[in-house]
Amino acid sequence: MYWRLLARLFDAEEQPALESAGLAVVEDIGLPSALLDPQVSVDSIVQRHPELGSEFDGLMAPAPDDDGTRDRAAEVRRAALVSKVLLNVFASGSGAVTAGQLTRWQSDAGWLERALGCRPGELRGGRAAPGAAAGGSGTGAAGAGVAATGTGGPCATPDLSRLIPTIGPELDAIEADLVKRMRLREVLADPDLAARLTPSMSLIEQLLRDKNNLSGVALANAKALIRRFVDEVSAVLRTQVEKATVGPLDRSVPPKRVYRNLDLDRTIWKNLTNWSPEEERLYVDRLYYRHTARKTTPQRLIVVVDQSGSMVDSMVNCTILASIFAGLPKVDVHLIAYDTRALDLTPWAHDPFETLLRTNLGGGTDGTVAMALAQPKIAEPRNTAVVWISDFYEWQAGPLFESMTAVHRSGARLIPVGSVTSSGRGSVNPWFRERFKDLGTPVISGHIGKLVHELKTFLT
């Protein structure tokens, strides 16, 4: 089974001897022959054979230590299932790609993540893949400790710190290649085909690059896909930002005397001296209320995003994140995007969809033009945070770093961010990385959750 897997991965031509041997194996162990058909998705197999759904969950996750005995029958079964998932994901073929083929690949990539013990979408942007809920008893079991029926017992949680940097970019690259091979404009012009597309970071990047060449139905379908993606990612990020501006109770403000603020426990405790044993009744002469007012200081967030071609993932995530913070009370958000020119997107900061439509991906990188827009916005440095998202491969590195140093020394909070991708990967100019470290403002690099944590700390 594994020789067949290797042969198909490295050579598109079928090897008749290995194919016939593989067919004999899967039939002998009672698995459907469709496992050997690269045109059949894992979703289709699970729909026809629901009992196999749970076997894919945790299929490739590390197994716990055992007593050294080998279940050879289980190993063969596992080899057949593993081969199916890996071939469907990594043998992506060549030539033109249809909307249906892209959707099928996205679904199979979700099953690969489940097989690794991850949540669907965890390695490819933190979003659920189509078909993620398929599989009967396997639904929602892609977290830690999932049971892998075909591997002989429960599996340990995989080391995502090693999986994400290695597998995540590979999956992203394959998906991006599929999107490029798809005649996207023709697909968007057909409402039925466009409806079959599942928005992903690779697809959104292509739509943003090509949006100026679209019109009519194609443009409307493109906007609908971008809107769907923005809404889905916003739902994920919003849960991370909840209660970000909750400060300490402000006891200088009297509690509002309404029923919902009544502190019943304290009221009873303070009035226990009025208890009448004869009447078995508590007389209350004073009510106590909870304080709900909290001390909040108006804070200003200036988010500067590099919109060059290498920063698309970060830009999309940060644009959405800025809109979420813009909706919080006492937070004044300003958004600036730049390449060799800078654009003040603050009027649309509350709406990431409109913001993304106004961006122009690609081009060089000159952060000095963005700094010229950002510096005048720092009115009260102590209540201002400047979040700068870029890989910092700049045309004018020296002048830009000098102006960033001046911002830091003014008392404003400077938060340089090298990447805020969901897969936790990215490249940062080592010259800038070392100097930010010496300045005491190390570059945040990795998962977007790190930036959310930093902003929460600043706001509270």
In a domain, 389, yes or no: yes
**Among 123, 148, 138, residue whose Cα is nearest residue 64:** 148
- Residues paired with 444 in a beta bridge: 417
Same domain flag for 139 and 278: no
- Residue 41 burial by CB count (10 A; 0-12/13-18/19+): exposed, middle or buried? buried
Same domain (yes/no): 304, 280? no
Residue 124 forms part of a structural domain? yes
Q: Are residues 428 and 384 in the same domain?
A: yes
| DSSP annotation of 249 | B
State whether 415 and 427 are in the same domain. Answer: yes
252-259 long-range CB contacts below 8 Å, 24 or more apart? 253/291, 253/293, 255/289, 255/290, 255/291, 255/292, 255/293, 256/289, 256/292, 257/287, 257/289, 258/289
pLDDT digit string (tens) for the chain, length 460 residues: 999 889 888 887 778 899 899 899 988 989 998 888 888 889 888 888 888 888 888 888 766 655 667 778 888 999 999 999 999 898 888 788 887 888 888 888 888 888 888 776 677 654 444 444 333 333 333 333 333 333 333 444 445 445 544 677 778 778 878 888 888 888 888 888 888 888 877 788 778 777 777 888 988 988 888 888 888 777 766 766 655 444 555 566 667 777 777 888 889 988 899 999 998 899 998 898 886 655 455 588 898 988 776 666 677 777 777 777 777 767 788 989 888 888 898 998 888 888 888 877 666 788 999 999 999 999 889 889 898 888 888 888 899 999 999 999 999 989 888 865 555 455 788 899 899 999 998 888 766 667 777 777 766 6
pLDDT of residue 311: 67
User: Residue 128 sits in which domain range?
Assistant: 2-182
Answer yes or no: do 77 and 170 share one domain: yes
Domain assignment of residue 127, yes or no: yes
User: Could you tell me the CATH number of the domain that includes residue 341?
Assistant: 3.40.50.410
* Both structure tokens of 32: 């459907």
Same domain (yes/no): 65, 175: yes
Q: What is the pLDDT of residue 370?
A: 92
What pLDDT sits at residue 434?
A: 92
Say yes or no: 275 and 330 in one domain: no
Q: Is 92 exposed, middle or buried (0-12, 13-18, 19+ CB in 10 A)?
A: middle
| Beta-strand pair 153-154/299-306 | unpaired
Domain boundary among 236, 271, 295: 295
* Alpha-carbon dihedral 158, 162, 163, 168, rounded to 10 degrees: 150
Structural contact between residues 424 and 293, judged by C-beta atoms closer than 8 angstroms:
no
Same domain, 334 and 388: yes
Closest by CA to 222, choosing from 239, 233, 210, is: 210
Same domain, 274 and 354: no
Residue 56 domain-assigned (yes or no): yes
> Does a structural domain hold residue 193?
no
Asked whether residue 236 is domain-assigned, the answer is no
Same domain, 140 and 261: no
Percent of residues in the chain assigned helix, strand, coil, to nearest 5: 55, 10, 35
Distance CA 150, CA 26 (A): 14
Residue 126 lies in a domain: yes
Measured CA to CA, the distance from residue 115 to residue 265 in angstroms comes to 50
- pLDDT at position 425 is 54
- Burial-class residue 325 by CB neighbours within 10 Å (0-12, 13-18, 19+): buried
Q: Are residues 403 and 444 in the same domain?
A: yes
Say yes or no: 258 and 111 in one domain.
no
Cβ of 114: how many Cβ atoms within 10 Å?
A: 30
Q: Report CA dihedral (292, 327, 199, 222) to the nearest 10 degrees.
A: 150
Residue 249 pLDDT:
54
Which of 295, 316, 331 is where one domain is finished?
Answer: 295
**Which one, of 360, 387, 415, 427, lies nearest residue 305 by Cα?**
387
Question: Structural domain tally of the chain?
Answer: 3
Distance, first Cα to last Cα, the chain: 56
Any domain includes 315: yes
- Give Dmax (Cα) for the chain: 96
Domain termination site, one of 182, 204, 237:
182
